Amino acid sequence: MDWLHTVAGFGVGLMVGLTGVGGGALMTPVLVLLFGVAPATAVGTDLWFAAMTKLVGAGVHGHGGTVDWQVFRRLCLGSLPASIATLGVMKLGGVGQSGDLIVIAVGVVLLFTALAMLFKSRMHRLAYGLRTQSPAHFKRMQAPLTVVAGMVLGVLVTLTSIGAGALGAVMLIYLYPLRMTPVRLVGTDIVHAVPLTLLAGSGHLVMGNVDGGLLGWLLMGSVPGILVGSLLSARVPERTLRVGIAAMLALVGMKMVAS
C-alpha cells in the first residue's frame, strides 16, 4: 500500500502545480476516505506535508521579491495566536482525537473552499468596486480585517489542515484588490502558510497525530507531481480544471458532513 500513497502524493502535487489549489483540500480527504487514515492523523500528517512542500516555494518567492511582507505580518499577527489557542482547545478538550468532529469540520471547510474557487473572480470585482468608490474607508479597514482573516485561517488550518490555499487567496484578493497582483498573491499566500503549518503541525506532532512513514511516501510523489503540474499549467484550461475540482470538493465535503 505504500506505493499507493506515493501515487496519491503525485496526484495531489500535480493538481497543486496545475491549479494552485492548496494540497490540504485534496490530501486530507484522500487520506481519510480512500486510505482509511484516522482523521486526526490525516490532518497532522498533511500539515507537515504542506509545510515541507511550501518551504521550497516560499524560498523562491522570498528571493524573487514577490511577497508582500506587510500583509504577511498582518496575517501572522492573527493566525499564529489563533493556531496556538486552537491547539490548546484541542488538547484540553480532547478534540485532537475526535475523529467525527474533525471529519465534519473538514467537510464544511471543503464546501467553503469550493465556493471560494467558483466565486474568486466575482469577489475580486466586488472588492475592486468598493476600493475605488470609498478608498479612505477601505484602506482604514484593511489592517484589522487582515488580522481577523489570519485568525480565521489559523483556526481552520489547525483543525482541518485546509484553508491556507484557496480560502486564503480569496481573502487577500478581497482585502487587497489593487495591491495584490497574481504573483504577489501566490507568493504571500505560500509564505504565510509556512509558519502557520509548521506551528500547527508541531502541535499535532506533540499530540501524536503525525505518521512519519506516511509523510515520507507522500513527499516522494508530491515533489515530482508539483514539477510536472507546473510545467503543464500553461497548456491546460485552468478555469475548466478549477470548476471540475471545485465540484469534486463540494461533493466530497457533503459526503464528509453527512457521514
Helix, strand or coil, per DSSP, at residue 220: helix
Among 88-92, 201-205, 249-253, which is the least confidently predicted range?
249-253
Cell numbers for 225, please give them: 507531481
What is the average pLDDT value for the chain, to the nearest integer?
84
| pLDDT tens-digit series, residues 153-207 | 999 999 998 877 778 888 998 899 988 887 788 788 888 988 999 999 999 999 9
Rounded distance between C-alpha atoms, residue 150 and residue 36, angstroms: 31
pLDDT tens sequence across 55-74 = 877 777 777 788 899 999 99
Residue 109: count of CB within 10 angstroms of its CB: 25
Cα gap 249→108, rounded to integer Å: 10
d(CA 114, CA 155): 18
Please state, in angstroms and rounded to a whole number, the distance separating the CA atoms of residues 53 and 45. Answer: 12
Gyration radius from the chain CA atoms: 17
pTM score: 0.86
Cα→Cα distances 166→8, 16, 37, 110, 169, Å: 20, 11, 24, 10, 5
Query: Residue 1 has what pLDDT?
Result: 55
Cα separation, 252 vs 78, in Å, equals: 29
pLDDT of residue 19: 64
